[in-house]
Amino acid sequence: MNTVGIIAEYNPFHNGHIHQIETIRARYPQARIIVLMSGSFTQRGCPAILDKWQRASHAVLGGASLVLELPAVFAVRSAQDFARGGVQLLSRLGVADGLAFGTESDGSLLAQAAQCIDSPDVQEALHRQIRQGKSYAAALSHALTEKTGLEEACFKKPNNILALEYIRSLKHLAAHIRPLPCKRSGAAYHDNELHAPCSSAGAIRREFSQPAPREALLSSVLPPASLNALLKAWKNHALPQASLLFRPLLTCLSTLDAKALEGIYNINEGLENRLWKAAAHSRNLDELISESKSRRYPASRIQRLLIYVLLHLRRQDIRSFDACGPLYARILAFNSEGRSLLHEIKEKGTLPLVSKTSGFLHSADMKRPLQERSPLQNMLACDIRATELRSICLSDIAGRSDDFLRSPLCLC
């Protein structure tokens, strides 16, 4: 095993992530580690707690060789699309032998279940459950339970859901890359309490939303670089607040006509009417999401969908992005081992490496119609807009052009 990939969010980078990297290095001492990381927004549609360059640098300090950005048009998507975009990007780098991912159950059982997803009987059961009003995730977990006899709770755990989709995507898109499941260490994904030495990212974010974060306890679950950056951001009131997106959302929802709103990705079956109705009387973002969700459209899907509204991501845009897959590899941070990896990717990969966006897209291009830009430029423009959107969630919005100005971090 020469090069192992990890697809991650690192929101923030914590001791559990270090444990995963150390596990990989213990199994494969000679392996280099490439991380494909969400940028300014996470899969659930939330602004990342620290900017992508900070999180990438923490990953390199924590043992990764190279961190690349997973484009926003794949990062802020369902588990299936998130996994597919990540696997495609990893495969196109031309250097990866394995993909490591966390699980909360036995990896071999998940591999067996993943092999069943595309079988006719599971697909029939899946679509039957969706027609009955269940969300995709709920319908899939029920269909797999019927097929495999495993407990349905197994398929509802976020890490297991992603693990299934990673294995499935590798089978269809990158059979040469070996799946490497790693049993999750420490607290459960949804555990909101801090537990040394490994706590969930959600528990850590929750602690920083408190009036006085407990520094001593945080120091037991975070590496120094992450802890210091988070404490500095907290003290300077520089942690993003998703609630600040509420008024821009009201503006979008009130100015988009029915045809324009119906064209936004993932808005269908009259969901635009639920959004308009909720927007008419909601007083904050949480109320808007709560009033819009349903059995079929859970809060996580609504939250993502609202980011699509703000980014004006249309159904046809996503179809185009899905048809071509990731079109570039954006470099965020690397060390000396990562530097040699970049040289190898240039020789073996099929994607251009982006160190500065100005080599591919200028600020003037952002004002041009989509049809006048290349598919690569349109995909990169979404990353830039996502970074600008995250800046709106900060008390100080001065740095809205970061994506045009920032270079990769060399930690050699």
Residue with tokens 């040469």: 176
On whether the CB atoms of residues 71 and 85 are closer than 8 A, the answer is yes
Size of the chain in residues: 412
Three-state DSSP at 332 gives strand
Separation CA 253–CA 242 (nearest Å): 17
Separation CA 204–CA 225 (nearest Å): 14
Q: What residues does 330 pair with on adjacent strands? A: 69, 354
Helix (H) / strand (E) containing 55: helix 52-61
Q: Is 109 exposed, middle or buried (0-12, 13-18, 19+ CB in 10 A)?
A: middle
- Straight-line distance from the first to the last Cα atom of the chain, in angstroms, rounded to the nearest whole number: 23
Q: Pick the closest to residue 94 from 342, 357, 375 (CA basis).
A: 342
On whether the CB atoms of residues 65 and 338 are closer than 8 A, the answer is yes
Annotated binding site: 7-20, 102, 159, 184
Pairing of strands 329-334, 66-70: antiparallel
136-148 helix and 107-116 helix, angle to the nearest 10 degrees: 100
Asked whether the bond before 197 is cis by omega within 30 degrees of 0, the reply is yes
Q: Give the distance from CA 148 to its chain's centroid.
A: 28
Annotated binding site for ATP: 7-20, 102, 159, 184
Separation CA 170–CA 115 (nearest Å): 11
How does DSSP assign 127-196, residue by residue? Answer: HHHHHTT--HHHHHHHHHHHHH---GGGGGSHHHHHHHHHHHHHHHH-TTSEEEEEE--SS-TT--S--S
On whether the CB atoms of residues 339 and 410 are closer than 8 A, the answer is yes
Three-state DSSP at 298 gives coil
* Tokens at 89, concatenated: 């990007």
Nearest-10 Cα torsion for 297, 298, 303, 307: -30
